[in-house]
Amino acid sequence: MNGPLTHGAHSVLSPASGQAEAIVVLWWVMLAVSVLVFLAVMAALALGAWRARRPGTQALSEAASRRLVLAGGVAVPLAVLIALVLGSVRTDLAGADDRVPGARIVVEVTGWQWWWAVRYLDADGATLAITANQIHVPVGEPVRVLLRSGDVIHSFWVPNLRGKTDMIPGIVNAAAYEATRAGVYRGQCAEFCGTQHARMAFELVAQPREDFDRWLAQQRAPAAVPEPGRAAEGRRVFDRDCANCHRVREAGEGFWPQGLGPDLTHVASRRRLGAATLPNGPAHLAGWIADPQGAKPGVHMPPVPLEPGELKAVVAYLMALE
């Protein structure tokens, strides 16, 4: 699943779901009405200016000007504003229903400064898979998304799919997502949450059910056993220096709670690193491990001083974790 983002990813004007379509219709209606009102006001202004300069213009009678002000200045704006508010409330309510009858999967996303922990649950709430910073959904099927925060207030936003939903510590917000068009869309934290708020992004892959099932099966599987040699040496480095914060789930282990950092069981299968900050690959991974603060100043991953051989080994280990 490599390749670029879908054209128009991260744009509300390129909807890929019913909810996003309703929002974009509302936006175009509001823009059109605003443009019409603006043009009407400018035309009235021009007409007034032109009439005032024309010699012999009669002022309107008092009754006529009162009627004009009451109609054009009170009644029409009130009617237009009430209609727009009703349209907006209607769109909002239509998107507020978070029940997803018959949803086969639930995606739980927890915002952390400055990354996204992702857990897939079955209908009974049992964990199916744990990953981070990349969310997959099957196209044309409603998915229930539970939104939490581990620290401060974040906001979950995939512009192509729907509006923003806050992630508030101690509260679980739910939303229904249904992508109608396959693609790779970009999501972004939409609530200022600290220095690296701007680099708290993720990618959402909407794909046909078979591809989604394949992806989920891969994420459910335990980590690949490292090849003897460099990768096995890398695993020792990982256990010594990284396992305090990161989990790699091996065969025979159950799902752990998330650590302080993203789950790395299948990190090589991800498109990007550092919450969509860098492309994934051996060079960027080595750069990230050697100097995460360089890519994302202030990030809650300290630089880990490693010998060059150890760095190569840990990169070989992680890059084999497809």
For Cu ion, the binding residues (CB under 5 A) are: 154, 189, 193, 200
CB 188, min distance to Cu ion, A: 9
Are the C-beta atoms of 230 and 313 separated by less than 8 Å?
Answer: yes
Closest CB to ligand HEC among residues 140, 282: 282
Alpha-carbon distance 250 to 265, whole Å?
8
CB 133, min distance to ligand HEC, A: 5
Q: For the chain, how big is the Rg over CA atoms in Å? A: 27
Interface with ligand HEC, residue 241, by CB under 6 A: yes
Alpha-carbon distance 191 to 19, whole Å?
21
Binding mask 171-200 for ligand HEC (x = CB under 6 A): -------------------------x----
| Sheet of 201-207, strands arranged across | 134-138, 201-207, 183-189, 154-157, 165-167
266-285: contacts with ligand HEC (CB under 6 A): 267, 270, 273-275, 285
> DSSP states of 39-55 as a string?
HHHHHHHHHHHHHHHST
Closest CB to Cu ion among residues 154, 162: 154
Are the C-beta atoms of 317 and 261 separated by less than 8 Å?
Answer: no
Q: List the single partner that 246 binds among ligand HEC, Cu ion, none, CB under 5 to 8 Å by kind.
A: ligand HEC
Q: List the single partner that 312 binds among Cu ion, ligand HEC, none, CB under 5 to 8 Å by kind.
A: none
- Of 100, 204, 248, 314, which lies in the binding site for ligand HEC, with binding defined by CB under 6 A? 314
* Neighbour-count burial of 205, counting CB atoms closer than 10 A to its CB (0-12 exposed, 13-18 middle, 19+ buried): buried
- Quick one: tokens of 295? 């890519």
Alpha-carbon distance 319 to 254, whole Å?
22
88-147: contacts with ligand HEC (CB under 6 A): 114-115, 132-133
Q: List the single partner that 189 binds among ligand HEC, Cu ion, none, CB under 5 to 8 Å by kind.
A: Cu ion
Interface with ligand HEC, residue 248, by CB under 6 A: no
Interface with ligand HEC, residue 204, by CB under 6 A: no
- Quick one: tokens of 11? 């744009």
Q: What is the 3-state secondary structure (H, E, C) of 69-104?
A: HHHHHHHHHHHHHHHHHHHHHHHHHHHHCCCCCCCC
Q: List the single partner that 241 binds among Cu ion, ligand HEC, none, CB under 5 to 8 Å by kind.
A: ligand HEC
Alpha-carbon distance 209 to 190, whole Å?
29
Closest CB to ligand HEC among residues 23, 273: 273
**Beta strand pairing status for 143-149 and 173-177?**
antiparallel
Closest CB to ligand HEC among residues 92, 250: 250
Q: List the single partner that 293 binds among Cu ion, ligand HEC, none, CB under 5 to 8 Å by kind.
A: none
Closest CB to ligand HEC among residues 24, 130: 130
* Neighbour-count burial of 242, counting CB atoms closer than 10 A to its CB (0-12 exposed, 13-18 middle, 19+ buried): buried
CB 264, min distance to Cu ion, A: 21
**Span interacting with ligand HEC, options 3-11, 92-100, 172-180, 295-303, rule CB under 6 A:** 295-303
* Residues at the interface with ligand HEC (CB under 6 A): 114-115, 132-133, 196, 241-242, 244-246, 260-262, 264, 267, 270, 273-275, 285, 288-289, 296, 299-302, 304, 314
